[in-house]
Amino acid sequence: MRIYPTMELQGGRCVTLDKGRLDEAMIWHVNPSETAHGWATAGAEWMHLTDFDAIEGRDTNSELVEEIIRSAEIPVQLAGGMRTREQVEYWIDKGAGRIVIGTLAAWDPNLVKELAKLHPDQIVLAVDVWQGQVMTEGWRSQSAFTPEAFIEAFSDTPFAAILVTDIDSDMEDVEAQLGLISGLAEKSRTPIIASGVVRTADDISRLAYIPNISGALVGRALFRKTIDLSEALSVASAAHEPVAEFQ
Catalytic residues: 8, 128
Q: How far apart are CA 140 and CA 70, in angstroms?
A: 31
Residues in contact with 1: Cβ distance below 8 Å, sequence separation at least 6, in sequence order:
204, 207, 208, 213, 214, 215, 216, 236, 239, 240
3-state secondary structure of 225: coil
Q: How far apart are CA 81 and CA 101, in angstroms?
A: 8
Q: Specify whether the CB–CB gap between 103 and 139 falls below 8 A.
A: no
Q: How far apart are CA 235 and CA 112, in angstroms?
A: 34
- How would you class 210 by CB atoms within 10 Å of its CB: exposed for 0-12, middle for 13-18, buried for 19 or more? middle
Q: How far apart are CA 124 and CA 116, in angstroms?
A: 8
Consecutive H or E run containing 165:
strand 161-166
Label residue 117 left, alpha or beta by phi (over 0 means left) and psi (-120 to 50 means alpha): alpha
